[in-house]
Structure 1
Amino acid sequence: MWLSGARLVLPDRVLTEGSLRLEGERIAEVREGFVPSGMDLRGFTVVPGLVDLHGDSLERELEPRPGVRLPLELALPSWELRQLAAGITTVYATVAFWEGAGGVREPDQGLRLAQELWGLRSALHVDLRIHARYEVSRPQGEPAVREALRKGWVHLLSFMDHTPGQGQFHDLETYVRYMARHHGRPEAEVYDEVKRLSTRATWEGLEALAAEALAKSIPLASHDDDTPDRVALMARLGVTVSEFPVRLEAAKEAKVRGMTVVMGAPNALRGGSHHGNLSALDALREGLLDALATDYLPEAALRAPFRLAAQGLLDLPLALALVTRRPALAVGLADRGALAPGLRADLVVLKESPFSVLGAFVAGKPVFVGGELAHALA
């Protein structure tokens, strides 16, 4: 099947008018110009499907209000449509193991969610993978993480540390206010819980958990790195991805150590962190930014690269690589993330003005079609 006449964003250049030939699940050929026998996509832009290493949006689908938990089979279809409508074809949905966080982030709930996702993922169009997030300040969650690893339900494991006074939360008061607001709980209750539950995972425990993941070829990430020393500690565990470093010196250390530095796409789109931490744009200007992840807003992932290109900070192929090829390579998915022969035909069809995603192909099949693209397919 030919997709003909679209503006194609290739790894090294943009074709004003180009065509793609799909064979089965793969891209078979890329050709400049219009192929008359193909699906006419003139006036549209085609880019690779996005690879998101950190997406928290499923949590909000499952818990649209504090204390309200929806069944996964009810929340998952609308969540999947949101991913595809944002251009995301491979998503590492986050599953937290965080004792005392409440709701879906509790370790027992995280384990149950991982099991349910594993059972349902084959029925989805999007390539759903599980990003297990272990809160090291609450080691009570470690047994559940180990169980998920042993069951084979984890594709990416990250270590996060929300201990007040470091990382994302500079002091206890900031942490308490945020958690109370986020979970709809009284501040006094959150404060008492912090005092009761906060301990520290032992180095031996973290090392054993990391070794177990690496033995299964599961990549490791760190979260909210704030100092070079913390980055060095994570590197000793075998961590290769530093997501959302909160200070410039931490990002620099991660880069020196060969880690993939991932920042938030909403951060890049907004021009700064909503917590006042490191700006994705500053990381980019310093040559430290390797990839962007959706964090809490799927729709930011595709818009951010186009915004960076429009601002003259990167050319469009390099900007799009931040959400396609580079995150894919960071976790060993060398089969996707670019419009190139031999790679998976994960594609997004969009209009640039007004900006909108009109369709998505996953492994060569059109799985999301809307607006004007529906007429092209008719």
Structure 2
Amino acid sequence: MHSQTDRPAPALLIEGAQVILPDRMQHCSVRLEDGVITGLDVPRDGAQLIDARGLILAPAMIDIHGDAFERQLMPRPDVFFPLDLALLESDRQLAGNGIATAYHALTLSWEPGLRSVERGEQVLDQLTALAPRLRIDNRLQLRWETFCFEARPLIARALTSAQVPALAFNDHTSMAVLHPDTPLQSRPFDHDPGFPVTDMTSAAFAQKMSARALRSGLSREDYVQLITRIWQRRPEVPAAIDTMAQLGRAAGAPMLSHDDTQLKTRQFYRDRGARISEFPMRVEVAQAARDAGDFIVFGAPNVVRGTSHIGSPSAAAMVQQGLCDILASDYFYPAMLAAVARLRADAVAPLPALWQLVSQSPARALGLQDRGRIEAGARADIVLLDWPEGASPAPLLTLSAGRIAHAGRSFGV
């Protein structure tokens, strides 16, 4: 679902920038042609010149999980805008933030409204139709709510597409009905027979469901009745997960588990082929993922804000402890670059190592072997940054497969 055009991208030579390479910073020229990096410090050979003196050149960022596009789809509760308008705007925002590959975290839920299966089908079809007009590589993370059996045909169809989506296993249903005496971060394995369930007939539970009901376009009472009916599916959920995981493995889809709280949870999904732990909610779970060689994802907004908005581990601390491989935009596209800047300012690690959190590591986790680094033969997904010492960075130029996706000023191309 990436942008395509009949007009080939011009050959370019970017000179004068300080370049973020996989293991070091280096002043060198970078040549691009036919959407690929063709060499470092090689002859100009007729390429157009981009003067990048005083700037930093980096691999464009890869967002493994971003749901900020939902704000373009539904900027206010139950207020929807045309899908093409919303997705084109999300594409522009991504390019403007230096992101050239984005996996839209498309929630497929039993809820009506924004996160319904019907809406998911529309997004999938619209992204396909818009592909020739999109500036960056727009892909999908199928964020499957495991109680939503209605989504299975859509997931099966999406997994057969040329650009295989990622498949994430979410269980916000069990989280929603968790007894209030049990902290979210320490809840048991979701399929534990002794899982502590709240009283779904109580006024407190109805109040808790208010925001979800608003998002779904239902009254609070109707939403409570719906989730109560859906909860009755619980005995069938493990078998449904097994079936979808088998489809994901057969398609070669990268698979993730979401909000793991127990070692048993991580092991359950690892056994089914999900080798990415997305937003683990306890340090012990992140450590278990690291010990098993899984990829570990945390939210970039967590780094920027200095804390998780729901009380999960500090992402900055996880980076420092070697328990975070990937930073995702989560709900705010600018957070990826801002998180790297904050970690750099705090001297957590050298910039090349920090940049891997938003480029090479997500590329590896997602099986995108052609991007995420600046070297000969790699896809020409790059970003030029205006990054004065001690100031916040700003993307000035984003190239996707060598084509201009965003330009904050004229570079003569």
The TM-score with structure 1 as length reference comes to 0.91
Note if 1:327 corresponds to 2:362: yes
Report if aligned partners of 1:350, 1:358 keep a CA contact under 8 Å in 2.
Answer: yes
Q: Give me the whole-angstrom Cα distance separating, in 2, the residues matched to 1:37 and 1:62.
A: 39
User: Quick check: 1:59 aligned with 2:73?
Assistant: no
Residue in structure 2 matched with residue 132 of structure 1 by the alignment? 142
Q: What is the number of residues matched between the two proteins? A: 373
* Residue 357 in structure 1 maps to residue 395 in structure 2: yes
Which of these residues, 111, 120, 124, is aligned with residue 114 of structure 1?
A: 124
> What is the DSSP-based 3-state SS (H/G/I as helix, E as strand, rest coil) of the residue aligned with 1:357?
strand
Within a 5 Å distance, the mapping from 1:1-378 to structure 2 comes to 1-15=12-26, 17-31=27-41, 38-100=49-111, 102-150=112-160, 154-162=164-172, 163-164=174-175, 165=178, 173=205, 176=209, 178-180=211-213, 187-198=220-231, 199-200=233-234, 201-353=236-388, 354-371=392-409, 374=410, 376-377=411-412
Alpha-carbon separation, structure 2, partners of 1:70 and 1:331: 30
Asked if the contact 1:167–1:225 (Cα under 8 Å) also holds between the matched residues in 2, the reply is no
CA contact (8 A) 2:18 2:25 kept: yes
Identify which range, 67-76 or 311-320, moves more after superposition.
67-76
Structure 1 position 365, deviation (Å): 1.8
Please report how far the alpha carbon of residue 265 of structure 1 lies from its aligned counterpart in structure 2 after TM superposition. Answer: 0.6
Task: Judge which range, 179-188 or 337-346, deviates more.
Answer: 179-188
Cα 1:37/1:159, change in 2 over 3 Å? closer
* Secondary structure, counterpart of 1:252 in structure 2: helix
- Farther-moved stretch of structure 1 (165-174 vs 236-245): 165-174
Q: Post-superposition shift, 1:178?
A: 4.9
- The Cα of 1:317 is off from its aligned counterpart by 0.4
1:19 to partner: Cα distance: 1.4
Counterparts of 1:177 and 1:358, CA distance in 2: 42
Deviation at 1:97, TM superposition (A): 1.1
Query: Separation in 1 of the partners of 2:24 and 2:401?
Result: 23
1:312-354 Cα distance to aligned partner (Å, 9 max, x none): 1111001010000000010110110011111111010111135
- Between 65-74 and 159-168, report the one with greater CA deviation: 159-168
Runs of at least 4 residues off by over 4 Å: 34-37, 150-154, 166-175, 180-189
- Note the C-alpha offset of 1:189: 4.3
Q: Retained in 2: the 8 A contact 1:114–1:153?
A: no
CA contact (8 A) 1:167 1:224 kept: no
Looking at structure 1, the residues matched to 318 and 381 of structure 2 have their Cα atoms a distance apart, in angstroms, of 28
Task: Give the drift of 1:147.
Answer: 3.6
> How far 1:4 moved relative to its partner?
0.5
C-alpha displacement at 1:114, in angstroms?
A: 1.1
Distance 1:13 1:242 in 2: 28
After TM superposition, the structure 1 stretch with the greater mean CA deviation from structure 2, 288-297 or 34-43, is 34-43
SS in 2 for 1:320: helix
Q: Alignment partner of 1:57: what SS?
A: coil
Do the aligned residues in 2 keep the contact of 1:111 with 1:148 (CA within 8 Å)?
A: no
State the Cα deviation string for residues 172-226 of structure 1 (Å, max 9, x = none). Answer: 6596355256567654444333222223243222112111121111111111111
Asked whether the equivalents of residues 77 and 214 of structure 2 are also in contact (C-alpha less than 8 Å), the reply is: no
Aligned residue for 1:377, secondary structure, equals coil
Instruction: Map Cα deviations across residues 125-149 of structure 1 (whole Å, 9 max, x no partner).
Output: 2011111111013334333323433
Q: Tell me how far apart the structure 2 counterparts of residues 249 and 178 of structure 1 sit (CA, whole Å).
A: 31
CA distance in 2, matches of 1:106, 1:268: 30
The separation in 1 between residues aligned to 2:400 and 2:222, in whole angstroms, is: 45
Q: How far apart, CA to CA, are the structure 1 residues paired with 2:185 and 2:115?
A: 18
Residue identity over aligned pairs, in percent, reads: 33
Q: Counterpart amino acid of 1:109?
A: R
8 A Cα contact 2:78 2:214, kept in partner = no
Contact 1:97 1:145 in 2 (8 A): no
* Structure 1 pair 320–182 and aligned structure 2 pair: CA distance change class (3 A): farther
> Contact 1:263 / 1:293 at 8 angstroms: preserved in 2?
yes
Structure 1: distance between partners of 2:161 and 2:263: 34
For structure 1, which runs of at least 5 residues remain unmatched after alignment?
A: none
Name which one, 1 or 2, has greater alpha-carbon Rg.
Answer: 2
Counterpart CA distance in 1 for 2:185 and 2:132 is: 35
Query: How far apart are the structure 2 equivalents of 1:362 and 1:147?
Result: 27
Q: TM-score, normalised by structure 2?
A: 0.84
Structure 2 gap segments, 5+ residues each: 1-11, 188-196, 199-204
Distance 1:249 1:169 in 2: 11
